[in-house]
Every structure is written in structure tokens, then in C-alpha cells.
Amino acid sequence: MTAKKINMKDFLINNGIIVVLILLAIFTAIKQPSFGSFDNLKNIALNVAPRFIIACGISGCLITRGTDLSAGRIVGLSACLAGTLLQKPGYSGKFFPNLPDFGIWWVFVVLLICIGVCAIFGLINGLVISYLKVPAFIGTLGMQLIVYGACLVYTNATPIGGYRPAYTVVAKGRLFGVIPYLFLIALAIGLIIWFVYNKTPHGKYMYAIGGNEQAAEVSGVNTNKTKIIIYVTAAVLYALGGFLVGAKSGGSSVNMGMGWELEAIAACTIGGVSVNGGIGKVSGVLIGVLVFEILKTCLQYLGVDTNYQYIAQGIVIVVAIALDIRKYIAKK
Amino acid sequence: MAEQYRLEMVGVSKSFPGVKALDKINLKVRPGTVHALMGENGAGKSTLMKCLFGIYNMDEGDVFIDGNKVDIANPDDALNKGLAMVHQELQPVPARSIAENMYLGRYPLIKFGPLKIVDHKVMNAEAEKWLKDVKMEFNPKAKLGTLSIGQMQSVEIAKAVSQNAKIVILDEPTSSLTDNEVEALFRIIRDLKSRGVSMIYISHKMAEIRQIADDITIMRDGTYVGSWQVKDITDENIVKQMVGRELGNVYPPKDDYRTDEVLLKVNQLCSIHERSFQDCSFELRRGEILGFGGLVGAQRTELMEAIFGMRNIVSGEIEILGKRVNIKHPQDAIYNSVGMITEDRRGNGIFGCLSIADNTAISSYRNYTKTMVINSKKVDEVVKDSISRLSIKTPSDKTQIQSLSGGNQQKVIIARWLANNPDVLIMDEPTRGIDVGAKFEIYQIMVDLVKQGKSIIMISSEMPELIGMSNRIIVMCSGRITGEVENEEATQEKIMEFATKFDINDKIGESSKQEVKS
């Protein structure tokens, strides 16, 4: 009897947020039956896909006790870059009016350009954090401003639209007319990241650095190299995320991706990536992103005022982290 | 009428999820005595003290102070009831001053109505007085972080003394002190005793117990074994009660497995810090256990960490198997077949939140990796093999290493290096804080290694261990190699003579300022 009670309590501490969210979702579905509709669930899934990719990127930083506050701005930069290079040939407000009409392969080239540019910013993040020993919080905070500034300079703060169908189809198209590409891309990224985290020395080193950086160093782990790879990988994933978000929304501006890093960090934490480092699973990241997205959608469906939605999201983040810490503090 | 005890703990039990850490423990401390608490690591001594001090809540049992039943809710409460504790793992705030550390949580205050201000003048003066009381002449305004670990310990003791405690708990207080500091500590302990203070003294060192303790209580595996007056029990009996069996030899049979082949040659190695190691040269032969003796602060650890690539050198050469090598990072050392078990197990040894498997395999993954993918099956084999070979006591290889006892953690770290199969293994205080049984097992592993043609460098501050295990002993003092003795000629006196060749006291203040490689 008592044992059962304790297990129940442990279960609630470990999964409290998720339980509450499921209850909230059921409640919402009862009050607003359209919440449970296939269209809405599909919508949630499509929103989750790019956010999951971004959260995967940030999870590596968090596991090594770092963070990446430049994530959202890099997402925005990537979306803007892709947007300016992939406008319709006949569109009146073209950013590069003289850009010739390349073939369909141009979409892939642009994706590579986005990844390449963002990877440079990620590399700088990594170098600053590893070699200059600047705390990740500060280093990436600086990078957040730098990237935003770069994006402003590049776009002149003009909104970008009129995308080629070949670009928007990346987000809107479906395999065999059923499975959205977006979904498949996110799935592929998730599998790759899972593999890297669990089956490669790089992944093991990452957890080791998060667990005890000095011990990792003594064990012969090249901590600098590992961290640089983590921040570059993260930037690459933000670039991909931004590319997809741009395609999905069919337009972009410098404000795209603003604050997404915080959402991604929150999602990771809800999914059990410990802010104390060394702990975190890709499946957890997915759950975290799902929970966060469902929360937002529920609040919308329940007709909660947008302003209050922020308050609710904030509370969820704090409660999630408070519960997360409960798991690790020594039981007295 | 029964004797009045200063402190009585009766029938104390404490369980953690899955483990019964304490099972009906009794501890009765007479006024004005030193009561030794002994037991192997993992016997529950620290847990018992944490229960007493209110850090853990006990499940069962009663505590009496001067015959009155007390209920200690938290450390603050314990302090108010006249208990003070010098922790095994110091918990100082290095960036703040010595005085602030001593008065943390009980700052002398000046009150302006509702406003309270810390009275720095009184605090510094008081701190200075108490430091003098324990013969430590530090500036109380100096940052605590500028002191050596031994000196910080003295500050901790001064702090306990300053609290006017009736009962002081000393958890392995001498593990990082120099002989001089130990002497000073014992003077303080005797002084406190004469003032009627009772002390609970946790230590593994038999000689100290004989020297300082009046009574002894022995624990084993979380159970109460018994209490004796120290004069009524022999060393052999103490060990027997602790391990619950007769211990044969403390050291495995000593054979000489040395060959003529020079594995490692260190030539005129100089630290980038003037006051660290300078002009150190030595050779290590295949199959040799080379001991490094000296006092705390002799820079032995620093020298070894430099050989392993953790610290920078300005000049000097390292040759491995006759080939000059350039080691700038532990990774380079590992490539050159050198391994190192560091002194600070918690600080740079274990990955607390990771599993035993991950802790074991971390430095050898590259050996089991093909085109960037780890061969998990192979790693699994290696891990399982080391767990059984080193008889690491754990429920599973997925268990977090932080839940193991110190001895088992150390064995996991040894397993980590064995998996790498290095020719040269540097072991810095390999048996510090480890119980007698596990110590012998580690010694046995060392002998097995040299038998297989590996070589070991062992830093040890335990003189008997140094003499008992080494084929040859090099002694350092103030960053220099001051002597070398073959095992047959090694005596404690001889080693001590080399270890104190330079007047180390001149350097104590300065050596503490040394920075680690950043």
C-alpha cells in the first residue's frame, strides 16, 4: 500500500508535466471537439517538426552544460537567406531582381548555402566557448545580437515573400500525397541525432563533458573539439529549421525565430534534458517539443487571451524545471 | 549510577532506496574524550554523522546530549545544540575571505533598527584570534581560495573551535595534512579535550587512533560491531572487526619484475611556474613500480600531471621507449601509452551521473570504433569483463557510478585505464579514502600489471604503502627530486630526510599561490 503510494508520487514527479498536459488536451478536446480533429493534430505535428529539429540542435549544448541563445536568430537568418534566394522569377518585390531562374536543384544549393553560412556562426560560437573559455550563456548571447544585426544589414529589414513553388513544396508537399515531407525530414534528423548521441564516440564524449568536464579532459577526450562540433551541428540544425519554417510560412522577416531558443530550451528541459548536464535523450526532446506545442494549441483552442498564454507558458517552464531538479537532488 | 555520556546515539537506522545504510547503530561518547569511529568505506560512518548533524533524517533511533533527548532537524539546529563538524569534503566558498568562510551563516551583525549590517571589524578580529588559537597565522581577509587544501582544513577546524562546540566531528581530518599540520591538529585536539570537549574522530589511520583516541566504535556494512577502549584492543583486532575476517598480509608478496628496458625517461622537466617542479629527471623501467614520496606540496602531483599533459612545461623532454614525445594534452599521453589515475577522484576522475559502463569505456571508445560507430557489443564485453576481473561490487553496469563506494569507484577508474592497456600507468594516491579490503585488491592489481610487463608510477603520502609496494622510491621536496632509494634500503626515516631537505615551511605560503593550468 505504502510502496504503491510512493511509486505514484515518484511517477508524478517524473512525469507530472506530461500528465497535466494530457489531461489538458483531453479537457480541450471535450470542450472544443475540433481540437481532436485530424486537421488540427496534423497541424500540431507540422509545427512540431521544425521546432524539434531546432531543439535537437540545442540539446547538445545543454547536455554539455552549455546553452545557445543565438539559436532563434540563426533560424531567422537562415529563413531570410533562403527567402531572398528563392523568390518567384516574376515576383515584383524581388530582393535580387537579376537573379537568374535556376532549375529545381537550386533549392538544394540554397539549403547548402544556408547551412554553410549558419555553420560559420556556429563555429565561431564553438571557438569562443571552447578556446576563449567564454561561458556559453554570454558567448551565445553576443552571437544572438551579432546574427540579428547581420540579418538586418542583409535584408534591410524588408519582409520577404513570393516564394517559388519548388521551395514551398518542401514544407507543404507529401510523399505519396500522404506523409508530409516536413515530417519525414524531422524523423530523419531525429534518427541521425539519436544515432550520434548513442552510438558514436562523439555522443559519449558529449555526455562525459556534461558529467564532468575535467574528468573528460583527463580521460583523453578532446573537449574543445567536441564542443566545437556540438555548436556547429547545432547551427546546422537551426539552418535547416529556418529553411523549413520559411518554406512553411511562405515568407519571412528579420523577426522570424525570435525567442525560439528559449522555447527550445524549455522543451528540452520538459523532456528531461538536465540543465546540470550529462543527461538527456532525443526521445525526451521530442516529448518536450510536443508537450510545449500541445500546450500552446490547447490555450488557443480554449480561447485564452494571447497575453495570458505567455504567462501560462512561463509557469509551465518553471514548474517543469522545478520537477526536473527534484529528480536529481539527493533524497534525504 | 551509569556513567553520564556527552552524546548517546541509540538504535539509529537509515535506509536509502534499495539499501539499508545504517542498522541499529549505537555510539556513546564520554565527555572530554576522543572517540574514534572506524569501519571500511561504505560501512556507514559518514552517513551516521550526517544523521547526527541533521543533514539526513534518521528513520529510527534516538540522540541524547548530556542525557537529554534531542531532535536535530538540520545543520543549523545541530550547531545550536553544540555540535560542529569538519567535513571530509570541505565545503568552502573559495572566492570569499577566510573570515567570511568561518562566520558564514552567523556573521556578527550591527543592528540599525530593522537594518542589519555585517560587522567586518569584529568578524576579522575574531577570525584572527581563532586562527591564532590553532596556530594558523593567516590574514583573515585573504581569499580562502589562495590556501592549500591542508590549510583550508585548518581553517575549518578553527571554525569548529570558534563555535565553542561541545561535540566536534572530525571526518578524516588528516587525509590532506602535512605531518606538521597533523601535529598542530593533535595539539588542538588535546587542548580541546582538556577543555572538556568531546570529539568523534573518523580515520583509517591506525597510528593516529593509537595516538589520539580514547574509545573506539567499529561499524561494518551499516551495522554496529562494538565499542572498546583503545587501550583494550589490538590493531589486528581492530582490522579484524572492521573487515569481519582475518586479513593476511597488508601488501601482496613483493617480487621484482623489473627488466632493463627503460620505458619512460623524463629529462630536466621544468614547470612554467617557478615554484612548482623544476629540473626533474628520472627513468622508469619496464615492470617497475616506482614510488614517489614527499610531503604535501612537494609538487609530485604537478610533475605527474605535466607528464600526462595536464600542465604546461617550459623546458625538458619526455622519452617513451627511447622516442622523444611531445605531450600537450592527456590525449597525446594516451596515444603514447600513458595512463593516469588522478588524486581528486570526484573532481576529475568520475562522471557521477553516468553509468559504470560509460565511466569504464570513456577513454577507450576510439579503440572500439569503426567508421565513427562504436561497437557496442565489444564495449559491453570489456565492461563486463572488468567488473568481474576487478570484482567491482555493483548491481549492474548501468548503475550510476556516484552510488558506489569510494573503493569501487576507484576500481572503475582503474578499469577505465586497463581497458586502454597503457604501458605506463601513473597512480596518484591510488588508495586514498579507500577501505582496507579494497586497498589490498588494488595492490594486487598493481602487482598483476607489472607482472605483465607494464610499469607503474605511484604517488603516495602513506609511508608504509610507499615502502610496501615500490621497487624504488623517488622523493621530492619543494618541486625538486631530492633523493632516490631502492626498496631494500628504504626506511621511513630516510624518506623523511629527503622529503624535508629544503625548509618547506618557507614555501608553504607561497606554494599555495600557485595556479593550475588554465
Are the Cβ atoms of B348 and A217 closer than 8 angstroms? Answer: yes
**Residue B142 burial class via C-beta count within 10 angstroms: exposed 0-12, middle 13-18, buried 19 and up:** middle
Which residues of chain B have a CB within 8 Å of the CB of A217?
310, 329-330, 348
> B61, B390, B407, B408: which is closest to B399 by C-alpha?
B408
> Binning pLDDT at 50, 70 and 90, where does residue B499 land?
confident
Q: Mark yes or no for CB contact B376/A200 under 8 Å.
A: no
Please name the CATH architecture into which domain B261-337+424-518 falls: 3-Layer(aba) Sandwich (3.40)
Looking at domain B7-243, its CATH superfamily turns out to be P-loop containing nucleotide triphosphate hydrolases (3.40.50.300)
**Out of A204, A328, A332, closest to residue B57 by CB:** A332
**CA–CA dist B484, B307 (Å, integer):** 19
CA distance B63 to B70: 6
Identify the pLDDT of residue B375. Answer: 87
**Each residue of B259-277: pLDDT tens digit?**
999 999 999 999 998 888 9
> One-letter amino acid identity for A234?
A
pLDDT digits (tens, 9 = 90+) for B181-209: 778 788 888 888 888 889 999 887 777 88
Q: Is the pLDDT of residue A116 over 80?
A: yes
Q: How far from B14 is each of A17, B57, B180, B220, B259, CA to CA, in Å?
A: 31, 8, 38, 14, 52
Q: What is the pLDDT of residue B176?
A: 64
Nearest to B82 by CA among B144, B24, B169, B142: B169
Of A81 and A18, more confident: A81
- Helix, strand, coil distribution of chain B in percent, nearest 5: 35, 25, 40
Please tell me whether residue B68 adopts helix, strand or coil conformation. strand
| Domain-embedded: residue A319 | no
How high is the pLDDT of residue B516?
A: 40
**How far apart, in whole angstroms, are the C-alpha atoms of residue B499 and residue B478?**
9
Q: Is the pLDDT of residue B437 over 80?
A: no
At B514, the pLDDT band (50, 70, 90 cuts) reads: very low
**What are the grid coordinates assigned to A142, written together?**
553576443
Contact A201 B365 (CB under 8 A): yes
| Cα nearest neighbour of B359 on chain A | A208
Which grid cell sits at B105?
551563516
Eight-state DSSP code of residue B18: T
Query: What percent of chain B is modeled with pLDDT above 90?
Result: 28
Tens of pLDDT, residue by residue over A128-137, are 999 999 999 9
CB of A57 closer than 8 Å to CB of A71: yes
Shortest distance between the Cα of B84 and any Cα of chain A, in A, equals: 20
Give the number of other Cβ atoms within 10 Å of residue A114's Cβ.
25
The average pLDDT across A224-252 equals 94
Domain with CATH 3.40.50.300 in chain B: 7-243, 261-337+424-518
| Structural domains of chain A, count | 1
Sign of dihedral through CA atoms A26, A27, A30, A36? negative
User: How many Cβ contacts (< 8 angstroms) between chains A and B?
Assistant: 85
Chain B residues whose beta carbon lies within 8 Å of the beta carbon of residue A233: none
Pairing label, strands B19-29, B7-16: antiparallel
User: Which amino acid makes up residue B105?
Assistant: G
**CA distance linking residue A280 with residue B288, whole number of Å:** 44
Has residue A36 got a pLDDT over 60?
yes
For residue A68, what are the domain limits? 33-256
Q: Radius of gyration of chain B from Cα atoms?
A: 24
Assign B74 a pLDDT band (cuts: 50, 70, 90): confident
User: Confidence class of residue B141 from pLDDT cuts 50, 70 and 90?
Assistant: confident
Alpha-carbon gap: B351 to the closest alpha carbon of chain A (Å): 5
| A172 within some domain | yes
First to last CA, chain A: 22
Contact B333, A219 (CB under 8 A): no
The string of pLDDT tens digits covering residues A297-315 is: 998 888 888 888 889 888 8
User: To the nearest whole angstrom, how far is the Cα of A62 from the nearest Cα of chain B?
Assistant: 15
Is B473 or B490 the better-scoring residue by pLDDT? B473
Structure confidence at residue B253 as a pLDDT band (50, 70, 90) = confident
Residue B297 zone, left/alpha/beta (φ > 0; ψ -120 to 50; rest):
left
Contact A44, A295 (CB under 8 A): no
State the pLDDT confidence band at B90, using cuts at 50, 70 and 90: low
Q: What is the mean pLDDT of the segment spanning B7-21? A: 81
> What number is the ipTM of this complex?
0.78
Give the per-residue pLDDT at A144. 95
* pLDDT score at B135: 67
On the question of pLDDT at B518 being above 60, the answer is no
Which residue would you say has higher pLDDT here, B345 or B20? B345
Closest listed residue to residue B242, CA positions, set B406, B476, B37: B37
From the list A199, A204, A220, which residue is nearest B358 (CB)? A204
Residue A5 reports pLDDT greater than 70: no
Query: What pLDDT does B214 receive?
Result: 92
Measure the CA–CA gap between B182 and B208, rounded to whole angstroms: 9
* Residue A59 pLDDT greater than 80, yes or no: yes
| pLDDT, tens digit, 9 for 90 and up, residues A240-284 | 999 999 999 988 989 998 989 998 998 998 888 887 888 899 999
B244: left (phi over 0), alpha (psi -120 to 50) or beta: left
Helix (H, G, I), strand (E, B) or coil at A50: helix
What percentage of chain A has pLDDT greater than the value 70? 96
Average pLDDT over residues A38-67: 92
Contact residues of B toward A, CB < 8 A: 16-17, 55-57, 308, 310, 329-331, 333-334, 340, 342, 347-354, 358, 361-363, 365-366, 369, 372-374, 376, 416, 518
Distance CA B67, CA B69 (A): 7
User: What is each CA distance from B356 to B307, B392, B425, in whole angstroms?
Assistant: 27, 10, 21
Q: Which of B334, B351, B356, B402 to mutate to test the interface with A (most CBs of A within 10 A)?
A: B351
Whether B137 has a pLDDT exceeding 80, the answer reads no
Please tell me the distance in Å from B354's CA to the nearest CA on chain A: 7
Q: What mean pLDDT, rounded, does chain B reach?
A: 84
Q: Do B362 and A219 touch (CB under 8 A)?
A: yes
Contact B351 A220 (CB under 8 A): no
What mean pLDDT is predicted for residues B302-331? 92
Q: Describe the strand order of the beta sheet including B280-285 as a list of residue ranges.
A: B280-285, B262-271, B313-320, B323-325
User: Worst-scoring range by mean pLDDT, A48-52, B10-14, B86-90?
Assistant: B86-90
Residue A332 has pLDDT above 60, yes or no: no
Q: What is the pLDDT of residue B508?
A: 42
pLDDT score at B2: 53
C-alpha B24/C-alpha B214 separation (Å) is: 23
Chain A residue with CA closest to B345: the answer is A215
Integer Cα distance of B245 and B267 in angstroms? 47
Pick from A82, A152, A150: nearest CA to A120? A150
Instruction: Please give the helix or strand (H or E) that residue B79 lies within, else none.
Output: helix B75-80
The pLDDT of residue B18: 56
Residue B41 in contact with residue B407, Cβ under 8 Å?
Answer: yes
pLDDT value at residue B433: 72
Q: What percent of chain B has pLDDT over 70?
A: 92
φ and ψ at residue A221, rounded to 5 degrees: -80, 130
Position B350 pLDDT exceeds 70: yes
CA distance A199 to chain B (A): 5
Q: CA-CA distances (angstroms) from residue A218 to A215, B184, B362? A: 5, 35, 10
Paired strand residues for A163: A87
pLDDT for res B112: 84
Residues A25, A36: Cα–Cα separation, whole Å: 9
Task: Please count the other Cβ atoms lying within 10 Å of the Cβ belonging to residue B86.
Answer: 23
Q: Do B373 and A211 touch (CB under 8 A)?
A: no
Q: Which residue in the set B347, B362, B374 is minimally distant from A199, CB to CB?
A: B374
> Is the CB of residue A86 less than 8 Å from the CB of residue A169?
no
Contact assessment for residue B10 and residue B22, using Cβ atoms and an 8 Å cutoff: no
How many residues can be counted in chain A?
Answer: 332
What is the number of other CB atoms lying within 10 angstroms of the CB of residue B5? 18
The reply to whether residue B351 touches residue A207, judged by beta carbons under 8 angstroms, is: yes
| A138-156 residue pLDDT tens | 999 999 999 999 999 999 8
Query: How far is A227 from chain B, CA to nearest CA, in Å?
Result: 16
CA distance A290 to chain B (A): 26
| Closest to B322 in 3D by CA, of B402, B428, B466, B423 | B423
Looking at per-residue pLDDT, the higher value among A2 and B215 belongs to B215
